[in-house]
Amino acid sequence: MGLLDGKTAIVTGAARGIGKAIALKFASEGANIAFTDLVIDENAKNTEKEIEAFGVKAKGYASNAANFEDTANVVAQIVKDFGRVDILVNNAGITRDGLMMRMSEQQWDMVINVNLKSAFNFIHAITPVMMKQKTGSIINMASVVGVSGNAGQCNYSASKAGMIGLAKSIAKELGSRGVRANAIAPGFIITDMTAALTEEVRAEWAKQIPLRRGGTPDDVANVATFLASDLSSYVTGQVIHCCGGMNM
Ligand SMILES: NC(=O)c1ccc[n+]([C@@H]2O[C@H](COP(=O)([O-])OP(=O)(O)OC[C@H]3O[C@@H](n4cnc5c(N)ncnc54)[C@H](O)[C@@H]3O)[C@@H](O)[C@H]2O)c1
């Protein structure tokens, strides 16, 4: 018996990194997985196969989460293919860092659109489906910097703070319909997104983390599994920090 037996999940931006770890963990708990990414290339096809190895249904969809129409179409297709959607993880995200003085309008717009508008797009499309089912769990991938702020990341921090406000508002709007919405605030997680950082920067980060290590995608996937499952049936509108104690 898996924690997510019989449930269907959408995970955005899941060809790699945290999204992929979430998709695999959900599948290991019995969920069918529809995942999206910008392109479904060889890498994403392998992710599909790895998910299927758990004996569940899996399909990758190429879609730009920042695009409203694209998202409405892909959600309609997923509902057609899978019949229902119990879990939505808004995970797709990017960084385009820079100090405010040097940040371009394009850097700002890209990060807000991919990190925050994408979640609006998916929640907008999935709301009627979950309301009709009278059940659903929505998980927004935020970040510790959405709570604390971070110099050089005003666009990213604002988008992640937005993910928290969005989750709380949806929790209030849809709670009476049996739909929960929460956010996860990861700290420093070792993925391609953070791979570009130098050894010195990593060592500096580690010093600020009480557990003295960077997190793994699986650390975040475990929290997502709790929020997706009925173990969190009385948890909504919350932000769960998954950061080794970096932010308290
Ligand atoms: N890695 C960290 O330390 C960390 C910390 C806090 C929060 N997060 C958040 O976790 C999420 C996943 O991060 P990650 O480290 O796995 O990143 P990653 O770069 O490894 O993976 C992100 C995935 O999203 C996809 N993606 C990007 N733009 C997209 C779009 N417009 N439409 C659909 N898919 C798109 C990418 O192709 C990629 O597969 C992001 O929202 C990120 O902001 C990461």
What is the chain's alpha carbon radius of gyration, rounded to the nearest angstrom?
17
DSSP 150-219: -TTBHHHHHHHHHHHHHHHHHHHHHGGGTEEEEEEEE-SB-SHHHHTS-HHHHHHHHHT-TT-S-B-HHH
* 156 classed as catalytic: yes
Could you tell which of 10, 11, 25, 37 is best to mutate to test the pocket of ligand 1, judged by most ligand atoms within 8 Å of the CB?
37
Q: Kindly compute the dihedral angle of the four CA atoms of residues 115, 117, 118, 124, in this order, to the nearest 10 degrees.
A: 150
Q: Each residue's pLDDT tens digit in the chain (248 positions)?
A: 899 999 999 999 999 999 999 999 999 999 999 999 999 999 999 999 999 999 999 999 999 999 999 999 999 999 999 999 999 999 999 999 999 999 999 999 999 999 999 999 999 999 999 999 999 999 999 999 999 999 999 999 999 999 999 999 999 999 999 999 999 999 999 998 888 778 888 888 888 899 999 999 999 999 999 999 999 999 999 999 999 999 99
Q: Ligand 1 centroid vs 144 CA: distance in angstroms?
A: 15
Structure tokens at 41: 């290339």
Quick one: CA dihedral 13, 19, 22, 24, positive or negative? positive
- Which domains can be identified in the chain, with CATH numbers? 8-235 (3.40.50.720)
Q: Ligand 1 centroid vs 12 CA: distance in angstroms?
A: 9
Structure tokens at 124: 């907008």
d(CA 17, CA 241): 18
Q: Ligand 1 centroid vs 91 CA: distance in angstroms?
A: 6
Q: Please identify which residue in the block is written with the tokens 């959607």.
A: 85
Is pTM beyond 0.95 here?
yes
